[in-house]
Amino acid sequence: MRHSDPVASIMTKSVVFADSKDSLRKVTSTMKEHNVRHLPVVSNGKLAGIVSKSDILRLSFGDMYDDQSDADETIFDMLTLEQVMVGNPTTVKEDDSIADAAKILSSVEFHALPVMKGDQIVGIVSTTDLIKYLLEKINNQ
């Protein structure tokens, strides 16, 4: 693969989604169940936002204190996914280059980009995908 190869060649194609009306509890459960850190959020079949594990962890006391799960559940019940997600996320097209995706991800504070074909989400590319790509390039030299 070359850096001019399309992002489609390294993206994750089996994308797990959240619906904009999902509860934060459901989103957290979905992330754990599918072992993913980013979920594109759809509303009426269209991309509405993206939510990350980091976004959810910012709301949680996590492991900082013993017996804080009740506080976390209360916070999750108080907020909606639409309040937590990043709306109108930056995206790339499936034929954009890997280098273009890398430039975007190296200059922002988020770590995944929905990959679009027209107005349909066809994949997601993350910094992890880029690191795997670079490791493959290094190992094949």
What was the pLDDT predicted at 64? 45
More confident residue, 64 or 10: 10
> How confident is residue 65, by pLDDT bands cut at 50, 70 and 90?
very low
* 61 in any annotated domain: yes
The phi and psi torsions of 27 (rounded to 5 degrees) equal: -60, -45
Look up tokens 């980009």; give the residue. 113
Question: Which of 50, 30, 27, 56 is closest to 125 using CA atoms?
Answer: 50
Question: Which of 40, 71, 110, 140 is closest to 128 using CA atoms?
Answer: 110
Amino acid in position 35: N
Q: How many domains does the chain have?
A: 1
* 56 in any annotated domain: yes
Distance between CA atoms of residues 40 and 122, nearest Å: 11
Distance between CA atoms of residues 50 and 112, nearest Å: 9
* 1 in any annotated domain: no
CA angle at residue 136 from 135 to 139, to 5 degrees? Answer: 85
What was the pLDDT predicted at 3? 60
What was the pLDDT predicted at 79? 87
* 74 in any annotated domain: yes
Q: How many residues does this entry show for the chain?
A: 141
Question: Which of 71, 3, 15, 7 is closest to 42 using CA atoms?
Answer: 15
Instruction: Using a pLDDT cut of 70, give the percent of the chain over it.
Output: 87
More confident residue, 60 or 137: 137
Distance between CA atoms of residues 49 and 17, nearest Å: 10
The CATH number of residue 117's host domain is 3.10.580.10
What pTM does this model have? 0.85
Instruction: Answer whether residue 89 shows pLDDT above 70.
Output: yes
Structural domain that includes position 16: 7-139
SS3 letters across 49-71: EEEEHHHHHCCCCCCCCCCCHHH
Distance between CA atoms of residues 30 and 24, nearest Å: 10
* 2 in any annotated domain: no
Q: What is the pLDDT of residues 11-47, one digit of tens each?
A: 999 999 999 999 998 999 999 999 999 999 999 989 9
